[in-house]
């Protein structure tokens, strides 16, 4: 024979007290039994079999209930506690009046359009809070919060105030402490992320515009496919570059956090800006693609890769071999290509002058890639030939030397014998 007994315990509490008896009963019923027993020493006084399904056991405790009236700022509060270990069961929001100036200022800030702190104001609040024991303890606890716990900073305020504060005021102060700690003890460096991601985003914008200016497809389905490809490429670019931003952000934010005592230093969250920059990359790629689409249909003047050409000439980027090699690959893939050049010049049939001009430009010489032996080209060839001890009139030797300097990324190198 197998007998199974399943018990479903139910608890009923009655407080026989002339001081806040109903409030005490309601409070004890909401607490876990283990916590009630921790504060109050119950003793068993009897048990009985009430009916076939109920076994009733009685416990009781004789202790003291106390009420305390507190006057603050012309207001009177009543607090109440029970037991020798002082279990407070009525906790009025006394700290709402203690911190009335801070709460009033915060309500003004968070009721405006710009719900944030300036660095100066954050420093002012930090100095004020660190000078008040309760707020100082709360701020130290908030600084150590991680992950999902940061969503509820009001709990740390409530604990520091021992419950004598309203939920609204605790949440407001907690939100404020998170904001000011992000200023005085930054978990990451947003400027580091901006500095690292600015160039990739610029290239993403110009590349999307240039490609769609020359390759826009007709039809709704084709447009959706192109946009999805842009989004995926933008997300991939952000993912590849973000470790560099995280590394620099880690170093910069760690240095900045050293300006405050160790107990106020937050844990690093250097990956936190990644999501924001991922969405920004999608917006940048979409904007570049939209402009490229409009230029393709002649709704806007064609750019013809002019911004990228201007940047290259101004910064003389083509003299850097890694840059020249990278952009040779990108141009072969169809990015950053002049529409006119792509439409009118066939690399297999261009004259050798065009190849020389192209390679001279990559090495930083200021020449126009026209295929015509103009004065500027001749001057550049003379200067280069003198530097390499070549005959300026031997175009094949000049082109071969240029290809050697460019390490395999020279234009039309297959024609050199």
pLDDT tens-digit series, residues 312-369: 788 777 777 777 777 777 777 778 777 654 444 444 434 688 888 888 888 888 887 7
Q: What is the pLDDT of residues 168-216, one digit of tens each?
A: 999 999 988 888 888 888 999 999 999 999 999 999 999 898 888 887 6
Task: Put residue 166 in one of left, alpha, beta given phi > 0 → left and psi -120 to 50 → alpha.
Answer: beta
Radius of gyration of the chain (CA): 37
Distance CA 35, CA 13 (A): 14
Distance CA 378, CA 126 (A): 67
Strand ranges (DSSP E) for 83-190? Answer: 87-90
Q: What average pLDDT score do residues 136-165 get?
A: 91
Domain boundaries, the chain: 1-90, 95-184, 190-296, 306-415
Of 316 and 226, the structure prediction assigns the larger pLDDT to 226
167 near 158, Cβ under 8 Å?
yes
Task: Put residue 366 in one of left, alpha, beta given phi > 0 → left and psi -120 to 50 → alpha.
Answer: beta
Question: What is the signed CA dihedral for 165, 167, 170, 173, rounded to 10 degrees?
Answer: -130
Token pair belonging to 183: 């200023």
**How does DSSP classify residue 216?**
P
pTM of the model: 0.67
């Amino acid at each position: 024979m197998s007998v199974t007994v399943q018990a479903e315990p139910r608890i009923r509490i009655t407080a026989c007290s002339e001081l806040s008896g109903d409030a005490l009963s309601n409070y004890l019923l909401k607490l876990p039994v283990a916590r009630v027993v921790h504060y109050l020493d119950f003793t068993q006084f009897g048990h009985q079999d009430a009916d076939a399904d109920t076994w009733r056991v009685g416990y009781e405790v004789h202790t003291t209930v106390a009420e305390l009236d507190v006057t603050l700022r012309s207001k009177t509060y009543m607090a109440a506690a029970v037991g020798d270990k002082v279990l407070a069961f009525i906790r009025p929001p006394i700290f709402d009046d203690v911190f009335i100036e801070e709460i009033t200022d915060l309500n003004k800030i968070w009721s405006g359009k710009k719900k944030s702190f300036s660095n100066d104001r954050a420093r002012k609040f930090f100095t004020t809070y660190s000078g008040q024991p309760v707020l100082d303890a709360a701020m130290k606890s908030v600084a150590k919060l991680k992950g999902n716990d940061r969503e509820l900073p009001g709990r740390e305020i409530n604990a520091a105030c021992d419950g004598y504060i309203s939920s609204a005021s605790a949440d407001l102060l907690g939100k404020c402490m998170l904001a000011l700690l992000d200023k005085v003890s930054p978990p990451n460096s947003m400027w580091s992320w901006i500095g690292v991601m600015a160039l990739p985003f610029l290239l993403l914008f110009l590349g999307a515009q240039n490609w769609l200016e020359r390759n826009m497809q007709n039809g709704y389905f084709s447009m959706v496919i192109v946009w999805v490809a842009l989004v995926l490429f933008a997300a991939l670019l952000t993912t590849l570059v973000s470790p560099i931003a995280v590394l620099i952000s880690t170093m910069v934010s760690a240095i900045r956090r050293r300006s405050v005592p160790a107990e106020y230093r937050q844990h690093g969250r250097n990956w936190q800006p990644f999501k924001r920059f991922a969405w920004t990359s999608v917006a940048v790629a979409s904007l570049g693609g939209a402009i490229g689409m409009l230029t393709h249909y002649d709704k806007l003047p064609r750019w013809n890769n002019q911004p990228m050409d201007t940047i290259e000439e101004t910064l003389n980027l083509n003299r850097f071999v890694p840059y020249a090699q990278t952009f040779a690959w990108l141009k072969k893939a169809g990015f950053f290509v002049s529409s006119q050049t792509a439409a009118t010049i066939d690399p297999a049939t261009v004259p050798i002058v065009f190849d020389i001009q192209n390679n001279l430009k990559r090495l930083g010489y200021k020449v126009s890639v026209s295929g015509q032996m103009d004065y500027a080209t001749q001057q550049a060839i003379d200067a280069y030939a003198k530097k390499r001890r070549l005959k300026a009139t031997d175009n094949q030797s000049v082109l071969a030397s240029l290809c050697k300097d460019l390490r395999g990324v020279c234009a039309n190198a297959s024609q050199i014998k």
